[in-house]
Amino acid sequence: MSIETKNITTMNNYARWPLAIVKGSGMKVWDEKGKEYLDMTSGIGVTSLGHCPPAVSDALGKQLDTLWHSSNLFQHPLQEKLGEKLVQISGLAQAFFCNSGAEANEAAIKIARRYNQKIKGENRYEVITFTQSFHGRTLATLTATGQDKVKDGFLPLPEGFITVPYGDLEAVKEVATEKTCAVLLELVQGEGGVHPASKEWVTDLFNWCKEEGILFMVDEVQTGIARTGSWFAYQQYGILPDVVSIAKGLGSGFPIGAILATEEVAQAFAPGSHGTTFGGNPLAATAGYATLQAMEEQQMLSHVKRVSVELMHALQQWANQYPEQIKGVRGLGLMLGIETTENADLYVTAAREKGVLLLSAGPKVIRLLPALIVTNKEIEQLLKVLHEVAQEINQVNK
């Protein structure tokens, strides 16, 4: 079926681009007409090792011929193998596996409430979140999200969530009560415009949570798994959260999510308290472990640290040439935002026509989430197209 053909079998809840991706390899993808694109989106931060990475593909191929599903009623050696690796790189104690970032944040909310009510014996259930955050689209996680647009039409929303301005510790203190069980935040807000949190604010908030007996939970769905140059963004802030949610980059495109927790908090999930049919199945666990193993073998952390500095420098030089169009560049690692004076979709659309795929994050932010394997060659191609697009838009505005 051509993409021009009206499809009446799927619901119209995605504003899809007029483009169908049918093949991918490394940093490149191809549409149904055979046109090649440089993918600087990595499937919204998912295909961190590029499309169809050989090491993960080989591991999944072997597992496809061995076992797809057994259910969580049985011992799960592949989950344990992946869990051991995640514990090793995170400094946390135990993992729970699910299928997505929204499910991971849902699990984080549940474990926070259950820890307070069943382990501490306190009637705490409220979670404090922040404006412009994004935590998912289940009823609980969209309520936790600090953006009204995702809540439209879904009233009444579940109780137990309070949203305050991002970066404002006093606002957190003002709304906290004896019912507060946790604070949930992104250290770099992705969907909200690529806003990194200041280290000072995070440190002060973390210390205050510890003093008040409030769980400190970090949503690393987009920032986790080497995206920012460390395995997790919190490792650059000098803290160890009580709960961390992860997903996107963990399975190289195979659906998998997880939460990691301290030993004390993890005991809140007793048999029967929470579960999933597909979470952490043999295929997902295989994809996750193969992804982490490949990242270690390819020394991905050091590569991201180096190439992200080069990309940021190149983008800032480009931005300086177009001060009337580009207000600035911000981000952490390979999670970058370019703030524009006009609608960011103008740049996204024009770049796509020239064979480079970009994202937006709000009306006036271009978001870059390239695969972690990006090289100087791809950066040069990106900058060439950005120059062309900026010049074209400048001409239109004259």
Residue-level pLDDT at 193: 94
* pLDDT surpasses 60 at 2: no
Residue-level pLDDT at 143: 98
Token reading at 80:
């344990």
CA distance 316 to 389: 16
Tell me: do 36 and 66 sit in the same domain: no
CA distance 278 to 316: 44
Of the residues 297, 332, 363, which one is the last residue of a structural domain?
A: 297
Tell me: do 249 and 140 sit in the same domain: yes
Tell me: do 285 and 345 sit in the same domain: no
Tell me: do 144 and 252 sit in the same domain: yes
Confidence band (pLDDT; 50, 70, 90) for 8?
confident
What is the per-residue pLDDT across 268-304, written as a single tens digit (0 to 9) for each? 999 999 999 999 999 999 999 999 999 999 999 999 9
Domain that holds residue 248: 54-297
The domain tally of the chain equals 2
Tokens 């390979």, residue located: 334
Tell me: do 226 and 166 sit in the same domain: yes
Q: Is residue 334 classed as helix, strand or coil in its secondary structure?
A: coil
Tell me: do 228 and 336 sit in the same domain: no
CA 160, 164, 167, 172 torsion-angle sign: negative
What is the per-residue pLDDT across 18-61, written as a single tens digit (0 to 9) for each? 999 999 999 999 999 999 999 999 999 999 999 999 999 999 99
In a domain, 142, yes or no: yes
In a domain, 10, yes or no: no
CA distance 170 to 165: 10
In a domain, 131, yes or no: yes
User: What CATH number should be reported for the domain holding residue 331?
Assistant: 3.90.1150.10
* pLDDT surpasses 50 at 1: no
Instruction: Please state, for a pLDDT cut of 90, what percent of the chain lies above it.
Output: 94
In this structure, are residues 183 and 128 in contact, taking their beta carbons and an 8 Å threshold? yes
Of the residues 269, 297, 325, which one is the last residue of a structural domain?
A: 297
What is the per-residue pLDDT across 341-383, written as a single tens digit (0 to 9) for each? 999 999 999 999 999 999 999 999 999 999 999 999 999 999 9
Tell me: do 251 and 337 sit in the same domain: no
In a domain, 269, yes or no: yes
Tell me: do 128 and 194 sit in the same domain: yes
Tell me: do 234 and 311 sit in the same domain: no
| Total residue length of the chain | 398
Tell me: do 289 and 209 sit in the same domain: yes
What are the b/e assignments for 330-344, b being 16+ CB within 10 Å? bbbbbbbbbbbeeeb
